[in-house]
Amino acid sequence: MLQVNLRPAELSVGNRSIHYAWVIVGVGSIMWMVTSSIRFATSVIVPHLQTELGWSIFAIFVAFALQWVCAALFSPVAGWIGDRYGVRKVMLAGIVLFVSGMVLTGAMDQLWQFYVYYGLVLAAAMAIFQVPMVAAVTLWFRTHLGVAMGTMQGIQGLGTALAIFLVFGLVGLGLKATFWIPGLAGGAVLLLLMRLFHNEPGAVGMRPMGASQDAPTEVLLKGPIAKVRTGLFIRQAQRTHAFWNLIGIHFWGCAGHNIILMGLVAMAIERGISLGAASAVYGTLTIVSTATRFLVPIAADKLGSKGVMAICFSLQTFPVLMLLFAHDLWFFYLFAVIFGIGIGGEMTAFPIINRQYYGNAPMGTTYGWQLLGGGMGMALGLVLGGFLWQYTGNYTGAVWAAFGLSLIGVVSIVALPNTAHHLIPDWESALPPEARSSAYGQGAAD
């Protein structure tokens, strides 16, 4: 009979030992997938909201934009809370917010309710399950971080693709079913998985994957000491050009591609494509992006993030112009494949480039600042694209806006420094001895 040992430090199946870091990746991936997939899948119900509730494309896009703004503003806060107190303590609040937001959104019949329930409540939940949780997963790896991040990004992308088809199937049953079924089922899954998640290897007496056996077992410092560490690191990181440029890159890229992501179904319908076929096009884009979501972090980890990000940004920028000439279904599918390759890698290299620039410094707050830029960009793109679309009566102006915004991101990547060396390797030297990590000075942070 096959024996399974489920204790984290001794995890094994038969005679094969498995590092618990991979369990953390699996748990984090599913949590992220459950809480974020509905964000992009909601684009499928845009025509339903227009026809059944009488809301304009601009009003709907404002709701989507509000969610990105709120998630963006909460991202640095969520990252700071995770850095200071640990991820598990904020997860329960995230679960409550997620389930509440989904149930309330399903019951809405007024536009202001869409803004509050979808735009505010769900936004806070998504920030909790993205920023501090992703940062925590990186602490479990000294090697194979690219594979870990690629796996998380790939599963999240796959979840979005499945959610698109799920929402398309449920929307015929009404808004309640569309949001209540995945909301309640997802909440139950999150509660079960939270029991398996640990903030860092030291919490269960382990070392990160790839750490040497003589490396100390490090437990994250919390409370006032963590506040000192995080504050000092952020002040030093903010003196580097890369800190601000990465925020800007996330801003420009997200501003450009969110116009396309949230409007593609409606764009195809505007050109005479049926809702079912348009949803399939969007699903194809998401499926294709899943592959690059997995591969790009691995490539960024091995080859350096700067070049990989430049290629992906270019592939999400120049193909957008294809939509100006798209009329036939096959052409929309072609666009979905090419754009999907680019969009899948545009966002996924950020956790890797943070580690390449800043080592094992408290990453939650830094990553949160980058997601603040990304979220604000997502919002700006939707508001600008929705306004141009409604003002001109077609989506041509929105497409040109998406192209221009993404192009600025491509240019900004050129200004990034090389990722071969940490930018502030000795940042802990300015800390008092009691606030330094146990790995400081022993090479464990490299």
pLDDT range class, residue 215, cuts 50, 70, 90:
low
Does pLDDT of 6 surpass 70?
Answer: no
How would residue 443 be classed by pLDDT, with cut points 50, 70 and 90? Answer: very low
State both tokens at 244.
């601000």
pLDDT band at 2 (very low <50, low <70, confident <90, very high): low
Q: What domains can be seen in the chain, in order of their start residue?
A: 18-201+222-435 (1.20.1250.20)
Residue 5's pLDDT band, with cuts at 50, 70 and 90, is low
pLDDT band, residue 1 (cuts 50/70/90): low
Residue type for 345, please? G
Answer whether residue 342 shows pLDDT above 80: yes
Cα–Cα distance, 1 to 21 (Å, whole number): 26
What's the pLDDT score for residue 138?
Answer: 78
For residue range 49-97, what is the model confidence (pLDDT) as tens digits? 888 888 887 888 888 888 878 887 887 788 777 767 777 788 888 899 9
Instruction: Categorize the per-residue pLDDT at 445 as very low, low, confident or very high, splitting at 50, 70 and 90.
Output: very low
Could you tell me what percent of the chain has a pLDDT over 90?
A: 16
443: left (phi over 0), alpha (psi -120 to 50) or beta: left
Cα 44 to Cα 120: distance, rounded to the nearest angstrom: 20
- What is the average pLDDT score of the chain? 82
* Cα 214 to Cα 219: distance, rounded to the nearest angstrom: 15
Cβ atoms within 10 Å of 321's Cβ, excluding its own:
13
- Residue 405 is predicted with a pLDDT of 93
The DSSP 8-state label assigned to residue 115 in this structure reads I
Quick one: which of 395, 410, 104 has its CA closest to 270? 395
Quote the CA–CA distance of 439 and 32 in Å, as a whole number. Answer: 29
Left, alpha or beta for 260 (phi > 0: left; psi -120 to 50: alpha)? alpha
Query: Do residues 46 and 265 make contact, with C-beta atoms less than 8 angstroms apart?
Result: yes
**Which pLDDT tens digit goes with each residue over 378-435?**
888 878 888 888 888 888 999 999 999 999 999 999 889 888 788 887 777 777 766 6
pLDDT for 437 beyond 90: no
CA atoms of 87 and 193, how far apart (whole Å):
13
Of 121-135, 209-223, 269-283, highest mean pLDDT: 269-283
The percent of residues in the chain predicted with pLDDT above 70, rounded, is: 91
- pLDDT for the residue 434: 63
Rounded (5°) CA angle 295-131-184: 95
Return the pLDDT at 333: 94
The one-letter amino acid at 158: L
Alpha-carbon gap, residue 103 to 110, rounded angstroms:
15
Please tell me the predicted confidence (pLDDT) of residue 148.
84
Residue-level pLDDT at 442: 47
pLDDT value of position 335: 94
Predicted confidence at residue 291, as pLDDT, reads: 80
Residue 444 has pLDDT above 60, yes or no: no
- Compute the residue count for the chain: 446
Highest mean pLDDT among 220-224, 306-310, 333-337: 333-337
pLDDT-derived band of residue 249, with 50, 70 and 90 as boundaries?
very high
What pLDDT sits at residue 320?
Answer: 92
